[in-house]
Amino acid sequence: MKTKVRKTYNFLISLLIIFATYGFIYQQLFHERDIKAVYQAFLDSFNNMWFINLIILVFILMILNWGTEAFKWKLLIHKIEKISWVKSLEAVFSGVAVSSFTPNRVGDYFGRVFILEKANRIEGVFITILGSMSQLLVTFLAGTSCIFFLFLGHHETLLTYFNIPAHLYTYFLWGGGVLILGLDTLFVLLFLNISLLSSLAGKFKGKVLEKITSYILVLSAYTVRELIGIILLSAFRFIVFSVQLFILLRIFSVELPFFPGMVIIGVIFFAITMIPTVAIAELGIRGSVSLFIIGIYLGNPFDMPPGIALGIVAASTSLWIINLAIPALIGAIFVFNLKFFRRSVHG
């Protein structure tokens, strides 16, 4: 492909991504039914210095969150191309921008790899998926454990809510606990032995499958020690954005004790992750899930005081704006650094 044509295509695709990203953010912020009430709640609190300090802390945690993700991706992608942390951060923000308007954020896998200059991009996609799998694994481990603790610590409320006989509840609780422990152990072992995936894929015949297998082989380059390190970084990220939501709930007058609050937040993130979504409905789903789960803890998710309900929606909306909308807007600028067409094709 000629240089001029290649640059034109790169520019047009970048422009399309920017329009899609900014259009999605605009739709969420100005057409979401609860956003006006959330905006007013934010303005009402802004003259409070305590509020301003906590919001600044949440923003600092956002930088820590995505900075950790950039460091994690830099470590992962190092197997095929050495890049700086700054370049990795650009790739991560670009991935957030591309993923903002795609179902279940699948665009993140492709938004990052176009920062690579020489490495095979398909291998880069599989490596990015590996990083996402580590985050999904941590969310699953934390979420399922938190579900168990939620049912263990609030059995009386849940017995009344679900109308289950006490003896059946006990069987379900401890049976579910054993099942959760077994699944958690299984998924950790599968992740730490991800190289088995390439071995399994190698058993399939056919040119297309054999080609895909050649790309999957890159996953066998990671040692168990490296994979444990990736899990720990993902766990640190999970703690960071859980603390962010806890702070935001307190800011908007949703008073939860720390340990029960973190348990509930773990269940919220687990539920949000497990629910298939299209980007256009994401903000509404986040608010609805948070309302329902915190409502169960408080006694009745369908009969909450309006002030508490607004605080929950305000907290979940603010977290979305700080952790996703703002990084997506920043990432849209970095999209111009991506190379969708290269001088020579490596993958």
What's the pLDDT tens digit per position in 289-322? 888 888 877 766 667 777 888 888 889 888 988 9
CA distance 139 to 270: 6
CA distance 308 to 40: 15
Task: Locate 286 and state its tokens.
Answer: 């986040």
CA distance 60 to 182: 37
In this predicted model, what pLDDT tens digit does every residue of 216-263 receive, in sequence order?
888 888 999 999 999 999 999 999 999 999 999 999 888 889 998 999
At 205, is the pLDDT very low, low, confident or very high (cuts 50, 70, 90)? low
Distance (Å) of CA 312 to CA 69, 201, 213, 289: 26, 45, 46, 10
Helices 282-298, 258-274: inter-axial angle, 10-degree rounding: 140
Distance (Å) of CA 125 to CA 110, 120, 186, 213: 6, 9, 25, 13
∠ CA 280-111-96, rounded to 5° = 50
Sign of CA dihedral 36, 262, 288, 140: positive
CA 191 to the chain's CA centroid: 18
Judge whether 98 and 145 are in contact, CB under 8 Å: no
In this predicted model, what pLDDT tens digit does every residue of 77-101 receive, in sequence order?
999 999 999 999 999 999 898 887 7
Given a cut of 70, whether residue 145 has pLDDT beyond it is: yes
Q: What integer pLDDT is reported at residue 345 of this predicted model?
A: 44
Judge whether 130 and 76 are in contact, CB under 8 Å: yes
Judge whether 54 and 251 are in contact, CB under 8 Å: yes
CA distance 294 to 160: 16
Task: Locate 67 and state its tokens.
Answer: 């900075």
Q: What integer pLDDT is reported at residue 78 of this predicted model?
A: 94
Name residues whose C-beta falls within 8 Å of residue 83's C-beta, 6 or more positions apart in sequence. 74, 77, 91, 115, 116
Judge whether 335 and 14 are in contact, CB under 8 Å: yes
Judge whether 346 and 121 are in contact, CB under 8 Å: yes
Q: Whole-prediction pTM value?
A: 0.84
Q: Which position has the higher pLDDT, 36 or 272? A: 272
Judge whether 73 and 128 are in contact, CB under 8 Å: yes
Given a cut of 70, whether residue 331 has pLDDT beyond it is: yes
Segment among 62-71, 133-142, 199-208, 215-224 with least mean pLDDT: 199-208
Distance (Å) of CA 169 to CA 60, 136, 180: 42, 28, 16
Judge whether 255 and 159 are in contact, CB under 8 Å: no
State the DSSP code for 325: I
3-state secondary structure (DSSP) of residue 84: coil
